[in-house]
Chains A and B, each alone.
Chain A
């Protein structure tokens, strides 16, 4: 049996199961027919809908964990709940998506049981000698082939590494609800407050990202990029140079230590394309580079390039779109 810890989303398009969780379920069923999903019942999510969605991606059961302390996220409380269900279900493998919460919860489970955890796996197969895994290092700039021996295999799945595929003849997963027991101490790491920080399009999910780097030259220089992003329903991103110079807040940074983006098109303006930046941008389906240097790494990686000064090209593009 494989247990997959799944996360839910308040997506506007009716999606209940988060994309990376669907990817994790897809990887799970390539390893074992007996795939069981575990979700935390935070009181807001409709577990019947989650069961239906999990079934579409191959889960035969959905186990929902309920407790007063689970209504808000907390790494210790959610991990304790998952840990309890894992002990009960006794699977050989436990997967989670390599997201902030998925990775954090599974690392806590691993730590509680002193089990190994292999993070950000892109490929897994078992043989007589144990598990052969491929995972990412350097934010995806390097693959690692690794062997794992463990009485219980704990893995997180690198987001976007596996395509989520629905089963041919889907049936809703059977919903099994559990009242779990938790030690009160886990309450110390629960979320106490959630603050809305931005009402705009989220960088991580934006269909278009307009990114700016050293070539933008100043905080004011981003105004044209903002306008372009606004016209395309997208978000503005930037490279580390722009945040280090104080031109943009760090939450706009795309890269290994910033946000990973996956837009339909990434319009990279004045960005040279260092490996750490590309680690966060490579899931973009298409790249358009605007750069004075035709030899820049970003130009070489782009589907399309405009060789020229972004300070002329971007305003001209904005004007042309507005004039339509």
Chain B
């Protein structure tokens, strides 16, 4: 089977997210980069599905040329092919991103045949628009469910489930299908030494496509006001227990 995982390069924030002087972007010059934990699981699932069923796995990103780093990281954990849709460096809005992904999938499928599964992270770590995967699926006319934490391919069907608090909803989608997956779907592997070597030499294919800008335009980013909390230290070690109990009683969680 052919499985595609779509990822997005994002900075790794520390205790606080630094902003550029004009306040319109995260100042990521001193930050490392990665992909969302959801997308790490999408990449891992693509590799596992191909290990179990045969075929090829592909990873795709819409992003700046530096996103090659995240594509190579995916290759180092076993993905067969990597595709970059280069942007000008700016963060595209969800409609434009989705249109570019749809166009890129069109080109890749024209060349090598359809993808049975297209996997997305449930939402990106930074923008968190919760929609690019759904827009792509609707444009392709394929079924799509978000929030997936179990995937099982059986013939031309994929059985998936998503947790909803105390229950799990099960869906059975006909292939080809799209899924928005969540962290917890699997435990992503670390790259092997050989994987690292392969990824360094891997060819990153480029597909240059674009879509029209959507109606949403970013004005500025802002760190939420830090809630000034006066921390009351109840004590050190077990001597604090009595005061902890009176706190719990005051809150009526202990009666």
Which residues of A does B touch, CB under 8 Å?
73, 75-76, 98, 100, 103-104, 107-108, 110-112, 114-120, 132, 136-150, 156, 188-200, 202-205, 207-208, 231-234, 240, 243-244, 246, 249-251, 253, 256-258, 264-265, 274-276, 286, 288-289, 294, 297, 299-309, 312-313, 316-317, 320-321
| Cβ-defined contact, B216 with A148, below 8 A | yes
Q: Smallest distance from the beta carbon of A281 to chain B beta carbons, Å?
A: 13
| Cβ-defined contact, B251 with A265, below 8 A | yes
Which residues of B does A touch, CB under 8 Å?
13-17, 26, 36-38, 93-95, 98, 125-131, 134-135, 137-139, 143-147, 149, 161-174, 182-184, 187, 214-224, 227, 229, 231-238, 240-242, 244-245, 247-248, 251-254
| Cβ-defined contact, B165 with A205, below 8 A | yes
Q: Which residue, of B149, B232, B233, B245, has the highest number of chain A Cβ atoms within 10 A?
A: B233
Chain B interface mostly = mixed
Given known contacts A233-B253, A308-B237, A142 and B161 CB-to-CB distance under 8 angstroms: no
| Cβ-defined contact, A146 with B234, below 8 A | no
Q: Smallest distance from the beta carbon of B31 to chain A beta carbons, Å?
A: 12
Q: Smallest distance from the beta carbon of A242 to chain B beta carbons, Å?
A: 12
Residues of chain A contacted by B165 (CB below 8 angstroms)? 202-205
Whole-angstrom CA separation of A250 from B245 in the bound complex: 30
Residues of chain A contacted by B217 (CB below 8 angstroms)? 146-148
| Cβ-defined contact, B223 with A143, below 8 A | yes
Residues of chain B contacted by A142 (CB below 8 angstroms)? 17, 26, 221-224
Whole-angstrom CA separation of A295 from B216 in the bound complex: 40
Q: Which residue, of B128, B143, B184, has the highest number of chain A Cβ atoms within 10 A?
A: B128
| Cβ-defined contact, A305 with B234, below 8 A | yes
Residues of chain A contacted by B182 (CB below 8 angstroms)? 257
Whole-angstrom CA separation of A240 from B16 in the bound complex: 18
Whole-angstrom CA separation of A1 from B252 in the bound complex: 42
| Cβ-defined contact, A100 with B146, below 8 A | yes
| Cβ-defined contact, A232 with B215, below 8 A | no
B216 contacts which of A146, A193, A204 (Cβ < 8 Å)? A146
Whole-angstrom CA separation of A192 from B171 in the bound complex: 5
Whole-angstrom CA separation of A251 from B37 in the bound complex: 14
| Cβ-defined contact, B238 with A313, below 8 A | yes
| Cβ-defined contact, A275 with B17, below 8 A | yes
Q: Smallest distance from the beta carbon of A69 to chain B beta carbons, Å?
A: 14
Residues of chain B contacted by A140 (CB below 8 angstroms)? 224
Whole-angstrom CA separation of A288 from B240 in the bound complex: 12
Q: Smallest distance from the beta carbon of A188 to chain B beta carbons, Å?
A: 5
| Cβ-defined contact, A107 with B131, below 8 A | yes
Given known contacts A111-B138, A142-B224, A189 and B144 CB-to-CB distance under 8 angstroms: yes
Q: Smallest distance from the beta carbon of B81 to chain A beta carbons, Å?
A: 26
Whole-angstrom CA separation of A200 from B240 in the bound complex: 29
| Cβ-defined contact, B238 with A251, below 8 A | no
| Cβ-defined contact, A195 with B167, below 8 A | yes
Which chain A residue has the least Cβ–Cβ distance from B98? A111
| Cβ-defined contact, B134 with A107, below 8 A | yes
Instruction: Give 26 pairs: A residue, B residue, CB < 8 Å, sorted on A.
Output: A73-B169, A100-B164, A103-B130, A103-B146, A111-B131, A111-B138, A118-B216, A119-B129, A137-B127, A144-B221, A146-B217, A146-B218, A197-B166, A231-B254, A232-B248, A233-B253, A251-B184, A257-B183, A264-B251, A289-B231, A297-B15, A305-B231, A305-B233, A307-B237, A313-B237, A320-B245
Q: Smallest distance from the beta carbon of B116 to chain A beta carbons, Å?
A: 15
Residues of chain B contacted by A107 (CB below 8 angstroms)? 130-131, 134-135
Residues of chain B contacted by A306 (CB below 8 angstroms)? 233-237, 240, 244
Which chain B residue has the least Cβ–Cβ distance from A300? B231
- 18 additional A-B pairs beyond A141-B13, A257-B38, A275-B13, beta carbons within 8 Å, are A107-B134, A108-B138, A111-B137, A116-B95, A119-B130, A137-B127, A144-B127, A146-B217, A188-B174, A194-B169, A195-B168, A198-B166, A203-B165, A204-B165, A256-B125, A257-B182, A317-B238, A321-B254
Residues of chain A contacted by B139 (CB below 8 angstroms)? 111
Residues of chain A contacted by B161 (CB below 8 angstroms)? 195
| Cβ-defined contact, B130 with A137, below 8 A | no
7 nearest A-B residue pairs (beta carbon)? A250-B184, A308-B237, A111-B138, A316-B238, A116-B215, A193-B170, A107-B131
Whole-angstrom CA separation of A137 from B95 in the bound complex: 17
| Cβ-defined contact, A257 with B253, below 8 A | no
Which chain B residue has the least Cβ–Cβ distance from A233? B253
Q: Smallest distance from the beta carbon of A111 to chain B beta carbons, Å?
A: 4
